[in-house]
A and B are shown apart, each in its own frame.
Chain A
Amino acid sequence: MKKYISGLSAIVLAICFSAFSTSPAPDHSTAGAKKAPSLFWYAINPDGSLGSALNNGAQMDKSTALGYTPCQDVTAVECDRGYSSRQVVGANPAPATNSSSDYHIKKTQ
């Protein structure tokens, strides 16, 4: 039993630490930010069709998606569109999505 004491005390310490440090703190990238939906993002081609997926089709919120697009979300021309499910690239016109600004990234002109 003696040889287990140090290991067991490490576990007890870890349980205490995890009990006090988990859940209340959101991760550092989202702290204080409004909770945006996690979406599949696609570029919108100039002809209105659905272009390639951003970040290899990974699901992410708008603030993360902005890191994968040259668009700065400042004018009225839509550049990227977010969907709650995967879409078929090339669909023309690009399928509609939620009208909330969390689902659209606008083009810099």
Chain B
Amino acid sequence: MNSSIKIKVAELISFLLIFLFAYTGLSKLMTVMQFERTLRQSPLLSDVASVVARLIPLTELAIVVLLLIPRFKKLGTWCSLVLLSLFTIYIAYMIAFTPHLPCSCGGILKQLSWHHHLVFNVCLIALSAVSIRLTATTKMIDSIMSV
């Protein structure tokens, strides 16, 4: 794959991540009380539901800002990877122990079942990893070409 295609693919993944985090972050903030109520039902997060209900959407929007600024794009992609991995671990826990509880996701993602959400998150983690890999190899090629 040549360098320009790699850049375009990385840009497309970045676009998807910005859209996803902006959408879910805003949706959660717009229904923060409902989001907090759902988290209160979770055996893992019930004690810290109030803080987590605000921290998660703010973290998602902070990642959007990082992904938007070219200088911090790589950091933003790494943060996306970490946050999506944490969400995935949480989903796996919920599937294993309390699958009857509602999903505390933002926007239309709430309509997904836990299993569909797990698959969705694994795909996004893979895309984030691909983006990091592509950015790294593209930079390497660029630095070799500039010598």
Contacts and interface: CB of A to CB of B under 8 A. Distances in A.
A74 interface: no
Interface in A19-68: 21-23, 25, 27-30, 38, 55-60, 64, 67
Given A10-B22, A28-B102, A64-B101, A18 B30 contact: yes
Nearest to B34: A27
What is the interface of chain A mostly: helix, strand, loop, or mixed?
Answer: helix
Interface residues of B, number: 35
Given A13-B19, A59-B46, A28 B100 contact: no
Interface in B95-110: 98, 100-103, 106-108, 110
Given A18-B30, A28-B111, A30-B102, A7 B18 contact: yes
B93 to A, nearest CB: 13
B100 A67 contact: yes
B87 interface: no
Interface string B100-124: 1111001110110000000000000
Say which size band chain A's interface belongs to.
Answer: 20 to 34
B38 A64 contact: no
What is the interface of chain B mostly: helix, strand, loop, or mixed?
Answer: helix
A59 B23 contact: no
B26 interface: yes
Nearest to B104: A27
A17 B124 CA distance: 19
21 contacts: A6-B15, A7-B15, A7-B18, A9-B15, A10-B16, A10-B19, A11-B19, A14-B26, A17-B23, A17-B108, A18-B26, A21-B108, A27-B103, A27-B110, A28-B102, A28-B110, A28-B111, A55-B43, A58-B41, A59-B46, A67-B101
Interface of B: 11, 14-16, 18-20, 22-23, 26-27, 30-31, 34, 37-38, 40-43, 46, 64, 67-68, 70, 98, 100-103, 106-108, 110-111
Interface of A: 3-4, 6-11, 13-15, 17-18, 21-23, 25, 27-30, 38, 55-60, 64, 67
Given A18-B23, A28-B111, A58-B46, 19 more contacts: A6-B15, A7-B15, A9-B15, A10-B15, A10-B18, A10-B22, A11-B22, A14-B18, A17-B23, A18-B26, A18-B30, A21-B27, A21-B107, A23-B31, A27-B34, A28-B103, A38-B40, A38-B41, A59-B41
